[in-house]
């Protein structure tokens, strides 16, 4: 995973926040779908860091920007 891929995934999540409820997944709410996309982004970043990527701090800083996307994340993110 690189910075461009992280930025694209964040843009994808941001774009999906505007979709009508129920339009993103037939198996759950839009918020659940967005949480899954965000979790997968963080997983891929951590995987890249554990694989020895050259710029772990930069990848982490970029991925952290996803927390500023406005959607319901649940009580544990308060």
- Alpha helix stretches (DSSP H) within the chain: 3-16, 30-50, 56-64
Task: State how far the Cα of 73 lies from the Cα of 66, in Å rounded to an integer.
Answer: 12
Q: What is the pTM of this model?
A: 0.84
Residue in 45, 20, 35 with CA at minimum distance from that of residue 67: 35
Task: State how far the Cα of 32 lies from the Cα of 15, in Å rounded to an integer.
Answer: 15
pLDDT digits (tens, 9 = 90+) for 16-34: 988 888 888 887 788 889 9
pLDDT digits (tens, 9 = 90+) for 33-45: 999 999 999 999 9
pLDDT at res. 76: 46
Which of 7-11, 18-22, 24-28, 52-56 is least confident? Answer: 24-28
Residue in 8, 1, 20, 17 with CA at minimum distance from that of residue 65: 8
pLDDT at res. 41: 97
């Amino acid at each position: 995973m690189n910075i461009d891929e992280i930025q694209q995934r964040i843009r994808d999540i941001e774009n999906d926040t505007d979709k009508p409820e129920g339009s993103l997944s037939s198996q759950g709410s839009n918020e659940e779908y967005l949480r899954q996309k965000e979790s997968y982004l963080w997983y891929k970043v951590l995987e890249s860091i554990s694989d020895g990527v050259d710029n772990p701090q930069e990848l982490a800083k970029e991925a952290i920007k996803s927390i500023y996307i406005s959607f319901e994340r649940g009580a544990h993110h308060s």
